[in-house]
Amino acid sequence: MLLIPCPFCGPRDESEFHYAGEPKPRPAFAADDATWGAYLFDKANEKGPHRELWHHVGGCRRLFLMTRDTVTHRILETHAPGQHGEGQS
Amino acid sequence: MSQPRRLPSGGFIDRSKTLSFTFEGRRYEGHPGDSVASALLANGVRLVGRSFKYHRPRGLLAAGVEEPNAILDLQLGAHHDPNARATMVPLVEGLELTAVNASPSLRRDKRAIFDRFARYLPAGFYYKTFIRPKWETFEGTIRQAAGLGRNSATSDRRFYEQQGARCDLLVVGAGPAGIAAALAGAANGQSVWLVEQEALPGGQLLWRDEQVDGQPGHAWAKAAIERLRALPNVNVTVKLATQAAAYYDHNTLALTERLAAPAVGWGPERLWLVRAGRVVLATGALERPIAFPDNDRPGVMLAAAAATYLGRWGVLPGKHIVLLTNNDDGYASALLLHRAGAQVGIVDVRPQVDGALIKAAAVAGIDVLPGRALLGVEGEFSVTGVRIGAADTSDAKEKGQGFACDLVAVSGGWSPAAHLFSQSGGKLAWDAELACFRPARSAQEEVSVGAANGAFTLAAALVEGHAAGGGEGPAPVASQADPTYRAAPYWRLPVRGVRQWIDFQHDVTTKDVELAARESYVSVEHLKRYTTLGMATDQGKTANVVGLGVMGEETGRTPGEVGTTTFRPPYTPLTLGAIAGLNRDSRLQTRRYLPLHTAHLAAGAACRDYGLWYRPGCYPLAGESEAEAIQREVLAVRRNVGLMDGSSLGKIEVTGPDAAEFVNRLYYNELKTLKPGRLRYCLLLAEKGTVFDDGVVARMAPDRYLLSPSSSHTDGVMAMLEEWHEGEWPDLKVYFHNVTQAWATLAVSGPRAREVMAKLSTDIDLSDAALPHMALADGRVEGVAARIARVSFTGERSYEISVPTSHGAALWDHLLALGRFASITPYGIESLMTLRTEKGYILIGRDTDGVTLPQDLGVTGPLRNKTIDYVGRRSLFTPEARRDDRKQLIGLAAEDAASPLPNGAHLVERGPHNRLRSLGFVTSSFASPTLGRPVALALVERGRALVEAHARLELYHLGQRRFARAVEPCFYDPKGVRLNA
């Protein structure tokens, strides 16, 4: 079971969290169908460091960003999401 | 009763007390401290079971967790364990044991004949022998023949517990390495957990003749545990009889603690989840067997197991022992058995032998035959002799030289118990010198020490353990010079085409591995699945490495090149009770009860689980069936007035200066234009455009909205609000509050609802001018803060009254009393389902599925008119969303009124060769008492066009054919005049 360092609450068991997907830039409404489809369904699912959103539903109920190594499951970093769109960087 | 194999002294048992037990109906005696296995052995019981596939007679192979054969049915009073491992069950008074997989009796097992048909049962026989005429012809017989033990007739009512803990240092295994690590860790102030699978600490010190710090090893271990437990300044937990079963991410380990004698009311195990800063794996090593013909006969035992029964329990398993070895340590076991009075001869497969232990054996007068191996054994139910020949023979006809003996001890070398290490993600590497897989690279904060690391000598184990615990100063000292350990990779007699057992529990032999190699199942994963090697409940603890070695020989590879399969938890089986813990029965998923639950019971409610909620389906009168009650309740709402508890419906308040902007971006429908005091029915979409939830949204004030998500979606909608706010629009000033449980909501619905409401004492103006359909108002009802909304899920004029939860029951009673003149009738969720289906009101998740878009439901206004970029909007304009053959919601009018159309029935079209193709399916179907005929909703390809054409449709369900017309999905009052009636 992962020990996730919530940036607001500190380390907590994985069972308190929901995985909320990969942070991705949302294409504008004018984007073509292929771009929109890729946004919806294509996951990077990187081997190695992987950026993901987590939701602390069993705690502060805040959303945050986490970088997790999908090979070792080491958590390299967590931090609060910044302003709109920063999750894309 | 005497215990013929028990020695007068020695072992860690209490000879002053006697325990009696039965095995296969016969009474035996043992002593406190015995395991079931040691007690059976002390009584000279050799035959303990039948093998899984061939039903061959089997005896004890091992003395610990790795035992593959001695799986017994255990009964103690009311408690029953269908497949206990005899080596791990402490003997208690009154145990009743029986063998599994044998009938009518262990000696005369009728299925023993399977062994004669072995050539029809090779690896993969399911797919080869039993496919004609078809597998199902044989399945019943084979399934009945398979399996271990009988299931308990009653459910296990014992109370299983689960607990969590954390520590700086978790040491698995209280052998010399583990104890040294725990001592060192505790000495430098760490909080330490030390867990040991056996009931006694010491590991191999319990039976080896070795000393630590000048004391006998077992005494040193015992004293060390006492010292650890007595330490005043640090937090030290020592758990014996506790199995580290699993090693998960982030240094989380699952431990199963076997509780002392199964106390009534308590389960036999407690499950611990321990998270440790650092883990020391001192899990020891497992001795391997060597394969040779008939090496599975009772009386063929691992050499260290024989020495363990001797040292730990004072049982000498044989008097005339032939010991087969491929390594130096076999000699150590031989010396122990020899000193206890057995006559021992050593057969060593290595042509040249030399070393301290070999010399010691010679000095003791033990005969050693180098370069020889066992060609076979005599005896069926118990070994009576062996045949000895050249170790390198490949001639199946060679008979060898016969020797009489009553025990064959086998030492095929040691394998580190690296299971937990491997579960942690660590990588193993083949060590050719030690002929074993050793931990090579750790993946977590973990270190393997001692025999678990391939350090097979006592001195090395103590040094490694001490260092791993962060010890300062010298490690505990092994008093004797350690002999070196060398092993030859000799896995089997090199004779092909003869069954030599590798996996005892699953009856996998060298012949099966040879066959797998011939048929190209040479990958280790294929080998495992094709032969079932290592897939029994012992998970191949004694078998896997031998199997890999044989496969390597068959394919010209080293075991390291063959590789290992993935080790998965648990290391040893744990009970389902321990896994479930308290999460069983009604606690499996916590039921949510309506705040008025007792009032509903008083009203005669028939409650059921609906999603998370346990709530009234209907309220049957005395002598009335549920179907009759539903019909009566529906008619009461249509003709008079009904009362329903809608408290489970979600209530989420969205407040703040940007509340309007926020809900407008979120919902499919336009919400900025909604006037305060008004309601709007809205859809909430997922980002891929599909309908996620529906419900009424109220604007209570310019900066305050109240959402009503479906009962079972409230948590999901709440999470969605938070994720979109924090992840996408954190600049919007808005707050969410789930107030579902704060309010009880009662719906008064029906043509006479207005008359009932008129009797209510309230300051809210209930006139249609002030409170029209889809409006709400705040005020007081019977002196209590309340909100009244005109919203209807029945199609009739309805008032939803919300009051603080604590006043809900009083309001319920009050409304029942007020409405008596109009025969006000409580109605449940089943009746509501009929009412809303008559009206064509949908239920998300029932009348929609994972691909339904709003336009499929005919809700196209926002699609055409709402231009801001709300959630899911882009997805409504994809080619997929614009296909003209999408499934759309329609109504179905059955041609015959005999019974409702089956829920889930497929609407079909007939193609070439009369092949059916599904066009869609029935989603909601009920008998309508209002209309006197069945009504149904369906999702069907090109549904709108079918409705326009009033098409006749064929339905197919489980062989049954029905016909129905496509109609508008509203069967009653399509103009909605009754909402204001």
pLDDT, tens digit (0-9, with 9 covering 90-100), for B86-111: 999 999 999 999 998 888 888 888 88
Q: CB-based contact (8 Å) between A76 and chain B?
A: no
CA separation for the pair B907, B918 (Å, rounded): 6
The pLDDT confidence band at residue B265, using thresholds 50, 70 and 90, is low
Does position B793 have pLDDT exceeding 70, yes or no? yes
CB contact under 8 A, A84 and B731: yes
B484 pLDDT more than 50: yes
* Structural contact between residues B310 and B207, judged by C-beta atoms closer than 8 angstroms: yes
Q: Is the pTM of this model over 0.95?
A: no
Report the pLDDT value the prediction gives residue B137, as an integer from 0 to 100: 84
B727: closest CA of chain A, how far (Å):
7
**Closest among B457, B485, B482, B413 to B176, alpha carbons compared:** B457
Select from B501, B309, B304 the least CA-distant residue to B411.
Answer: B304
pLDDT, mean of residues B562-588? 89
Cβ-based contacts of A61 with chain B (< 8 Å): 722
pLDDT band, residue B363 (cuts 50/70/90):
very high
Task: Count Cα atoms within 13 angstroms, Cβ side, for A68.
Answer: 20
Tell me the Cα Rg of chain A. 14
How far separated are the first and last CA of chain A, in Å rounded?
Answer: 28
Write out B181-249 in H/E/C secondary structure.
HHHHHHHCCCCEEEECCCCCCCHHHHCCCCEECCEEHHHHHHHHHHHHHHCCCCCEEEECCEEEEEEEH
> B589-598 pLDDT, tens per residue?
888 999 999 9
Alpha-carbon span B966 to B941, nearest angstrom: 12
Q: Which of B729, B874, B875, B876 to mutate to test the interface with A (most CBs of A within 10 A)?
A: B874
CB B12, CB B33: distance < 8 Å: yes
Choose among B293, B542, B288: nearest CA to B435.
B288
Residues of A in contact with B869 (CB under 8 A): 29
Check whether B871 has a pLDDT greater than 50: yes
Nearest residue of chain A to residue B719 (CA atoms): A57
A73-87, B23-37, B447-461: least confident range: A73-87
Chain centroid to Cα B27, Å, comes to 38
pLDDT(B260) > 80: no
How far does the CA of residue B167 sit from the closest CA of chain A (Å)?
Answer: 14
Question: Residue A85 — very low, low, confident or very high, per pLDDT cuts 50/70/90?
Answer: very low
H/E element holding B332? helix B329-339
| Mutant choice from A57, A63, A65 vs B, greatest count of B C-beta within 10 A | A63
Contact of A59 with chain B, judged by CB distance below 8 Å, is answered with: no
pLDDT of residue B261: 58
Percent of chain B past pLDDT 70, that is, above it, reads: 99
**In 3D, which of B920, B928, B907 has the Cα closest to residue B970?**
B928
- Using DSSP's 3-state secondary structure scheme, residue B907 falls into strand
Mean pLDDT for B886-892 is 98
Structure confidence at residue A84 as a pLDDT band (50, 70, 90) = very low
pLDDT, tens digit (0-9, with 9 covering 90-100), for B398-434: 999 999 999 999 999 999 999 999 999 999 999 999 9
Residues 3-22 of A with CB under 8 A from B: 3, 18, 20
List of residues 6+ apart from B864 with CB closer than 8 A: none
In the predicted model, is pLDDT for residue A86 greater than 60? no
Query: Are B425 and A72 inside 8 Å of each other by CB?
Result: yes
Contact of B82 with B100, CB cutoff 8 Å: yes
Q: How many CA atoms lie within 13 A of B277 on its CB side?
A: 9
- Closest residue on chain B to A20 (Cα): B723
- The nearest alpha carbon in chain B to A19 belongs to B723
Alpha carbon distance B354, B342 (integer Å): 23
Inform me whether the C-beta atom of residue A34 falls under 8 Å from chain B C-beta atoms. no
pLDDT value at B665 more than 70: yes
In this complex, do B723 and A61 lie within 8 Å of one another by their Cβ atoms?
no
- Buried b vs exposed e over B406-442: b needs ≥16 C-beta within 10 Å? bbbbbbbbbbbbbbbbbbbbbebebbeebbbbbbeeb
Matching residue, tokens 């029986």: B98
- Distance, CA of B767 to CA of B239 (rounded, Å): 73
Bridge partners of A68, per DSSP, are A50, A75
Block residue for tokens 């797998």: B516
CA distance B725 to chain A (A): 9
Query: Which tens digit of pLDDT belongs to each residue from A2-46?
Result: 999 999 999 999 999 999 999 989 999 999 999 999 999 999 889
**Residues of chain A contacting B722 with CB distance shorter than 8 Å:** 55, 61-63
Question: Chain-wide mean pLDDT for chain B?
Answer: 94
Using alpha carbons, list the distances in angstroms from residue B172 to B178, B199, B274: 7, 14, 12
To the nearest whole percent, how much of chain B has pLDDT over 90?
A: 86
Chain B within 8 Å of A43 (Cβ-Cβ)? no
d(CA B224, CA B463): 16
Say which of A2, A41, A87 has its CB closest to residue B250. Answer: A2
pLDDT for the residue numbered B155: 79
Residue of B nearest to A3 (CA): B250
Contacts A–B by Cβ distance under 8 A: 59
Nearest to B506, CA basis, from B486, B527, B484, B485: B527
Chain A residues close to B873, C-beta within 8 Å: 29
- Interface check for B163 against chain A (CB to CB < 8 A): the answer is no
Cα–Cα distance, B626 to B613 (Å, whole number): 19
Q: What is the C-alpha separation between B257 and B770, in angstroms, rounded?
A: 68
What is B651-663 written as a DSSP string?
A: -EEEESTTHHHHH
Residue B27 bridge partners (DSSP):
B22
B85 forms bridges with which residues in the sheet? B71
**Is beta strand B96-99 parallel, antiparallel or unpaired with respect to B19-23?**
parallel
Closest Cα to residue B442, out of B434, B453, B431? B453
Nearest residue in A to B736, CA atom: A61
> How many Cβ atoms from other residues are within 10 Å of residue B257's Cβ?
19
Question: Does residue B245 surpass a pLDDT of 80?
Answer: yes
Query: What's the average model confidence in pLDDT over B349-366?
Result: 94
Question: Mind listing the pLDDT tens digit for each residue in B530-568?
Answer: 999 999 999 999 999 999 999 999 999 999 999 998 899
Whether residue A83 has pLDDT greater than 60: no
Query: Which one is predicted more confidently, B453 or A86?
Result: B453
Spell B215-232 as b/e; 16+ CB within 10 A means b: bebbebbbebbeebeeee
Question: Residue B233: pLDDT band by 50, 70, 90 thresholds?
Answer: confident
The answer to whether the beta carbons of residues B648 and B594 sit under 8 Å apart is yes
- Is any Cβ of chain A less than 8 angstroms from the Cβ of B443? yes
Please answer yes or no on whether B875 and A87 come within 8 Å at the CB atom.
no
**Minimal-distance CA residue of chain A relative to B868:** A29
What does DSSP assign to residue B956?
E
Nearest to B618 by CA among B603, B610, B630: B630
DSSP codes of every residue in chain A: --EEEETTTEEEEGGG-EE-----PPPPTTS-HHHHHHHHH-----SSEEEEEEE-TTTT--EEEEEEETTT--EEEEE---STTGGG-
The first and second tokens of residue B454, run together, are 């391939």
Minimal Cβ distance to B874: which of A36, A55, A87? A36
For residue B82, pLDDT over 80 is answered with: yes
Residue found under tokens 């979109």 = B724
Would you tell me which residues 880-909 of chain B have a C-beta closer than 8 angstroms to some C-beta of chain A? Answer: none
Q: Please tell me which of the candidates B425, B719, B878 has its beta carbon nearest to residue A36.
A: B878
C-beta atoms of B719 and A55 within 8 A: yes
* CB atoms B723 and A26 under 8 Å: no
Mean per-residue pLDDT, B769-781: 97
Q: What is the DSSP letter of B722?
A: H
Interface contact B275, partner A, CB < 8 A: yes
B557 — alpha (psi -120 to 50), left (phi > 0) or beta? beta
Contact check, Cβ <8 Å, B275/A27? no
Residues of chain B positioned with their CB less than 8 A from the CB of A20: 723, 727
**Closest Cβ–Cβ partner in A29, A73, A87 for B869:** A29
CB-closest option in B273, B687, B719 to A40: B687
Whose CA is closest to B88, among B198, B188, B179? B198
pLDDT for position B481: 67
The residue-averaged pLDDT of B285-302 equals 98
Interface-testing mutation among B255, B446, B723, with chain A (most A C-beta atoms within 10 A): B723
Decide if B69 contacts B60 (C-beta within 8 A). yes
Q: Can you give the pLDDT at residue B25?
A: 95
Mean per-residue pLDDT, B948-970: 96
pLDDT, mean of residues A44-54: 94
To the nearest whole angstrom, how far is the Cα of B686 from the nearest Cα of chain A?
A: 11
